Copies of this chain bind each other. A is one copy, B any other.
Amino acid sequence: MASAPTPPVSAVKITDVAAAAGVAPMTVSRVLNTPERVSPGTAERVRAAIDALGYVPNLIAGGLSSRRSRMIAAIVPTIASPMFAEPVQSFTDAMGRAGYHVMLALSGYGEADEATLIRAVLARRPDGLLLTGARRSPEASRLLATARVPVVEIWDTAEQPTDMLVGFDHEEVGREVAAYFRAQGHTQFAFLGASDIRATARGRGFAQGGLAAQATVKAPGTIVEARQAFRAMARKLTSRTALFASSDLIAFGVLTEARAMGISVPDQLAVCGFGDFELSRGASPAITTVHVDGIAMGVLAAEHLVARLAGRAEGHAHRALVPFRIVERDTT
């Protein structure tokens, strides 16, 4: 195709297209947003003009006018861990398919003020919000309430979510892992977890029958930190122990160090991780872990949000619990 001298994107606006196609701007807008309300012939002409001029609609202007930004803001602690990268990725994909863009805001692990972050993203008037966790400060709750924006919270559960929720109970995960170990005949338990709120909750559930040892690493927790922490912890573990790690990365660190120390797995030390990262499947021995489908969580969160935004929220419950399960591999 002969590249006609195309004016800068910013220069071509809807009125230019309208003039070129011999219609009113409103008709151009209809061709783009509600094509079924325009006669095929007119739509054809308008589309030809759009192509010829290289028109790229200005969603900022459209958003101001329609009061819908077609944008969702996602606030997660980090995407440097698969724990959050996967749901964010699948959420972004799924929202994209529904015509929404996702703006990413990273909160870190609690050091930043969440309310400030929420205020900042609300300034862009997102049509919806994805938040991590289910505990909001009063300030944050107030902001969200007055903004009247659909909210999905993921990765946790609460009796009274802010709005919609797609998550699960971390304490219950801990209890289930403990029950699993007990069923295997274990009596001495240990926990090695990151310092974040949900990892702590898993530890709490796990520890209900008592703990022979426990250690914490700074969230999100690295392999090297886990190795160091386990080395220190191992001295206290005199007999056969079942260890629950708050993430697969930490579990891998424990296993790596255990091998270096000559501790046999799973005979002397049984290990269960959390997250079912690719590493757990790929490592040898393959790591027993708690599978939580982060990808599904992202997709489900997107579905809830899209349903709400389309006005057909009735079919969906506000609170969806995603299942988790223990994937038994070689370390237990």
Contacts and interface: CB of A to CB of B under 8 A. Distances in A.
A205 interface: no
A52 interface: no
Interface in A247-263: 249, 252-253, 256, 259-260
Contact of A311 (B3, B8, B80, B143): B3
Which size bracket describes the interface of A in this complex? 35 or more
Contacts of A89: 78-80, 106
A184 interface: no
Nearest to A99: B120
A10 interface: yes
Nearest to A308: B4
B284 A5 contact: no
Interface stretch (A66-74, A196-204, A264-272, A318-326): A66-74
A88 interface: yes
Contacts of A58: 64, 123, 125
A312 interface: yes
A68 to B, nearest CB: 7
B278 A256 contact: no
B148 A7 contact: yes
Copies in the complex: 2
A281 B123 contact: no
A85 B80 contact: yes
Interface string A226-260: 11000000000000000000000100110010011
Contacts of A54: 142-143, 146
A183 interface: no
Nearest to A280: B223
Nearest to A259: B284
Contacts of A63: 60
Sorted from nearest, which 5 A-B pairs have the closest CB atoms? Answer: A223-B282, A2-B311, A9-B147, A59-B123, A6-B67
Interface of A: 1-10, 54, 56-61, 63-64, 66-69, 71, 78-80, 82, 85-86, 88-89, 92-93, 96, 101-106, 119-125, 142-143, 146-149, 222-224, 226-227, 249, 252-253, 256, 259-260, 278-279, 281-284, 309-312
18 contacts: A7-B146, A9-B67, A56-B119, A56-B122, A79-B79, A79-B88, A80-B85, A80-B89, A89-B106, A92-B104, A96-B106, A101-B121, A101-B124, A102-B103, A252-B279, A256-B284, A259-B284, A260-B284
